[in-house]
Amino acid sequence: MPPVIEVRNLHKRYRDKVAVEDVSFTVEEGEILGVLGPNGAGKTTTVECVAGLRAPDRGEITVLGLDPRRDHAALTRRLGVQLQESQLPPRLRVAEALRLYSSFYPEPADWRELLDGLALGDKAETPFGKLSGGQKQRLSIALALVGAPRVAILDELTTGLDPQARRDTWDLIESVRSSGVTIVLVTHFMEEAERLCDRVALIDAGRVVTVDTPAGLTDRAGVGQRIQFRPSRPVDDRLLAGLPGVSAVTRRGEWVVVTGDSDALNTVTAALARDQVVAERLRVEPASLEDAFVALTGRGPVRDTK
């Protein structure tokens, strides 16, 4: 089967700034592909080109065998898009918006089920202008899915949602994927990517660094484990950073966090013992996707605005 989405050598420039340079990736049917990258990496520009909302300067894109720009009208009936920011008329009520959008499609999803699934049932008669930021975000997701699309592009899916609403939204996306929908998910939440994504495309400075599963990305970064402890007395980070097997040393308040390979725990505890430092409340955790992200880009995941 050919890929549902294929991007080859995508390039996009804004005046003197190259936002996307030679980006290539594919998305298979029924897959959730996560798009990760630091601020300004070009994630949103990439998916807007895939959705046909921006014209690339060069490169080739196909979605369901269609060109997003040339075949935009045909693709719109099969594609759902949720952007970082969206606006509706302030007086348009939630239920009215969903009824209106569902009328655009020959076989729409049940918009009432989407309302309940996104905890908006009690807001059906609320005007858009009266919704909170998180409620507007959930409505945007519902509008992207109301057409029962074969492909959905979701940009910063759960930004602005509280932890419970975020997890409820993850449950909904998992059920949508289980129905066969192919999803491209732009996110800066590492937990979201680890839970939902089959593969992750890591974009940095407009280029694809790598495409792999979340576990494969962690292995590729060579980050084995994270050691967290509270030292019994001050310890010089440089002492730990220079040890064999240690790749990074960071601080979280009074806590020291050491990232390294499988030998790091032994070398760190031995060095602390030599300096008569007790590692209080020591905890060892497997490396996370966020650890791999930092190792591969040198930066933490923050929300993209381009």
H or E segment and range at residue 268: helix 264-274
Between CA 26 and CA 7 the distance in angstroms is: 6
By DSSP bridging, strand 5-14 and strand 58-63 are antiparallel
* Cα-only R_g, the chain: 22
CA–CA gap between residue 200 and residue 13 (Å, rounded): 24
pLDDT score for 304: 45
Determine the Cα–Cα distance for residues 192 and 159; give it in Å rounded to an integer: 11
- Quick one: CA torsion of 90, 78, 161, 225, rounded to 10 degrees? -160
**pLDDT at position 306:** 46
d(C-alpha 71, C-alpha 73), whole Å: 6
pLDDT profile of the chain (306 residues), mean per 10:
94 92 95 91 93 95 96 93 87 96 92 90 95 90 94 90 88 91 92 93 91 83 81 92 89 90 89 94 84 70 47
Paired residues of 27 in beta bridges? 5
CB atoms within 10 A of CB 28: 14
Q: 3-class DSSP state for residue 196?
A: helix
| Spatial contact of 201 and 46, defined as CB atoms under 8 Å apart | no
Q: Taking the CB of residue 60, how many other CB atoms lie within 10 A of it?
A: 12
- The H-or-E segment that residue 20 falls in is strand 17-27
* CA neighbours closer than 13 Å in the CB half-sphere of residue 159: 18
The half-sphere exposure of 96 on its side-chain side, counting CA atoms within 13 A, is 10
| Triad 228, 218, 160: Cα angle to 5° | 75
**pLDDT at res. 301:** 53
pTM here? 0.78
Maximum Cα interatomic distance, the chain, rounded to a whole number of Å: 72
